[in-house]
Structure 1
Amino acid sequence: MPLVKAGFVVLDCAEPEKLAVFYRELLEAEQTEATANRVEIRSADGTRLAFRRDMNARPPSWPRPENSVQAHLDFVVDDLDETERRIVGLGGRPMEAKDTPGLYEERRYADPAGHSFTLRRVAPTAPKQG
């Protein structure tokens, strides 16, 4: 029997209920637990996130060095444009306007509380047909 039964990425924020709604909608996840100071969600693919109340939380300042990236999330998607529209509609904001060239196309965003996350689209490795 494993000693560790579940792992979460925990984001500190002033309003965990509101931030949980943003990620629950983005990931089409379900809320699994909620207390006065913490909300947990799990998506269908098993991604587990928790949001902890910290009344003194300040958003990371990436790319500036002061209070810069403390942690960030990466999400793999099929359609960057469609996902970006959903993020903006849920209250997130783009942090970089251009795609990163290469095998992985990436775009960076901030959630409503200012935490950074990245969308990645893995380019197909098979030759294009037709």
Structure 2
Amino acid sequence: MALVKAGIVVLDCAEPEALAEFYKELLGAEETDVSANRIEIRSADGFRMAFRRDVNATPPSWPRPENSLQAHLDFVVDDLDETERGVVGLGGRPMEAKDPSGPFEERGYSDPSGHSFTLRRNTSPAPKQG
């Protein structure tokens, strides 16, 4: 039996209403719990996020020169180019301009409050056509 019932990714930010709207649009999610200082959303597949008001919040520094690890979000997508246009249209910003080599195609972004996240597409094992 699990000790924990559910997990929720919580991001601190100065304006939880605006950041919740960004992720609601990105994930096709709905608000599930709203208070003066916290908004929680849930996507159709059950992924849960919350946004907590911190009037002193500052954007994280990413990537750090010393290449330290810090928390970020990974989202799996079908079409990187189409999703990137949507992210930028919602106020997100590209953080990395190149696609790294390897079994995944991925691109780094920051949300409007500066939290980092990655869009990742699993590549097919078959060679690219065209």
The two structures have a TM-score, normalised by structure 1, of 0.90
Q: Give the distance between the partners of 2:38 and 2:50, measured in 1 at CA.
A: 7
Aligned-partner SS, 1:84 = helix
How far 1:4 moved relative to its partner? 2.1
Q: Give the distance between the partners of 2:103 and 2:70, measured in 1 at CA.
A: 26
Q: Give the distance between the partners of 1:13 and 1:120, measured in 2 at CA.
A: 24
Q: Give the distance between the partners of 1:36 and 1:65, measured in 2 at CA.
A: 36
Q: Give the distance between the partners of 1:103 and 1:2, measured in 2 at CA.
A: 33
Runs of 4+ in 1 over 4 A off after TM superposition: 126-129
How is 1:61-76 mapped onto 2 (pairs within 5 angstroms)?
Answer: 61-65=61-65, 70-76=70-76
Aligned-partner SS, 1:119 = strand
Q: Give the distance between the partners of 2:35 and 2:69, measured in 1 at CA.
A: 27
Q: Deviations over 1:79-121 (max 9, x none)?
A: 0000000000000000011111211001000000000000000
How far 1:56 moved relative to its partner? 0.9
How far 1:125 moved relative to its partner? 2.5
Sequence identity percentage: 77
* Number of residue pairs matched by the alignment: 129
Report the equivalent of 2:19: 19
Report the equivalent of 2:28: 28
How far 1:124 moved relative to its partner? 1.3
Report the equivalent of 1:123: 123
Report the equivalent of 2:50: 50
Aligned-partner SS, 1:51 = strand
Q: Deviations over 1:58-96 (max 9, x none)?
A: 111112359x76410000001000000000000000001
Instruction: Tell me the amino acid that sits aligned with residue 111 of structure 1.
Output: D
Q: Which runs of 5+ in 2 are unaligned?
A: none
Change in Cα spacing, 1:69 to 1:86, as seen in structure 2 (3 Å) is farther
CA RMSD of aligned residues (A): 2.1
Q: Which runs of 5+ in 1 are unaligned?
A: none
Aligned-partner SS, 2:46 = coil
Any conservation in 2 of the 1:39–1:50 contact (CA below 8 Å)?
yes
